[in-house]
Amino acid sequence: MVTRFAIIGAARIAKNALIDPIAEHPDALLTAIGASSLARAREFAMAHTIPHAGTYEDVIARPDIDVVYIALPPSGHLEWSLKALAAGKHVFLEKPATMTAEDAHTLVMAADAAGKRLIEAFHYRWHPLFVRAMEIVRSGQLGRLVTGSAEFSAPIARNAREFRWQAALGGGALADLGCYPVSWMRHLAGAEPVVTAAHQDLEADGVDRRTTAHLRFPDGFEADIICDMDPPNGQRTPYLEVIGDKGHMAITNPLAPQYGAEILLDIDGQETRETFPRRPTFAYQFDGVVAAIQAGTPVWTEGADLIGNAEAMAAIRSVAATG
């Protein structure tokens, strides 16, 4: 069985998330690219050897497409996901899936009604590193989780074409960067948090340059997250750590272990280090998404999880706005 994909949005991320991994997959095919203009679609198709190019509407209407990968800025996710689902396509949707929690509910309900998959593209979740981190927490080696912290900060160039500096397009540190630490903590905790404190440094149009938040989970586990699009010391390696009443786990680069990462465990004073394959997170993700769609099996980043991450980010914004 071959699963046929199309891309909506001629974005840089499409190469990592879809074009490269699909080239290595025996049961998947990239059929078409839809862009904001036919000229842009043709240019992208030529650059990446994609057979067909068209507008968003053209691509969604094609009968030879099973899955639409949406790589638009977040402001376009709701509209084009709904249209793809209505056309009978599965949707593989770049993070963050939506700009609001309400939109997340709308999309999940639409996917359920259509009998189609709506999968959020959190590539980190598929890598053996994070699978192992989940195993460690679930095994009880750390005991009851007590505290945690995570940061993903990276300098984002300020220019007129960069949607991440534009509030109207769904940009901002929390949406683009902070969605990862929020997701990391939710998955490790296995529960949804209450946001007890949050702060956002806002630009003139309301986009957040930096966001910090304190999360409290039902079992008492508390975690701090940080994200910044203009960090004072430049690029930082993403990190994640959790401390339990029996041990401590620190992870360097949970975002993209293909560039080098490790898990450092300290259990009762005994330290161990684990390293992981350099195969890209995106390749593991694509393999998993294709397998899940073909077999009809659930994945980690759809349905209630997609809604949960959107609701946590909405709560962070709300708490930050009210002080």
* pLDDT profile of the chain (323 residues), mean per 10: 97 97 97 96 97 97 98 98 98 98 98 98 98 98 98 95 96 98 98 98 97 97 98 91 98 97 95 96 98 97 98 98 90
Report how far Cα 255 is from the mean position of its chain's Cα atoms: 10
Angle at 162 between CA 211 and CA 313, to 5 degrees: 30
Helix (H) or strand (E) holding 319: helix 304-322
Residue with tokens 């259509």: 114
Number of domains in the chain: 2
177 and 318 inside one domain: yes
pLDDT value of position 233: 85
Structure tokens at 260: 């080098």
Whether 142 is in a domain gets the answer: yes
162 and 84 inside one domain: no
pLDDT value of position 236: 86
Whether 315 is in a domain gets the answer: yes
What is residue 302's DSSP assignment?
B
pLDDT value of position 69: 98
Domain boundary residue, one of 121, 156, 174: 121
Q: Can you give the C-alpha Rg of the chain in angstroms?
A: 20
CATH of the domain at 22: 3.40.50.720
CB 227 within 8 A of CB 152: yes
CB 152 within 8 A of CB 124: no
pLDDT value of position 234: 83
134 and 116 inside one domain: no
- Number of neighbouring beta carbons within 10 Å of residue 49: 9
Whether 294 is in a domain gets the answer: no
142 and 33 inside one domain: no
Domain boundary residue, one of 65, 91, 121: 121
Whether 277 is in a domain gets the answer: yes
- Number of neighbouring beta carbons within 10 Å of residue 147: 14
Angle at 218 between CA 214 and CA 219, to 5 degrees: 105
In angstroms, the CA 94 to CA 104 distance is 13
Domain that holds residue 38: 3-121
69 and 178 inside one domain: no
227 and 87 inside one domain: no
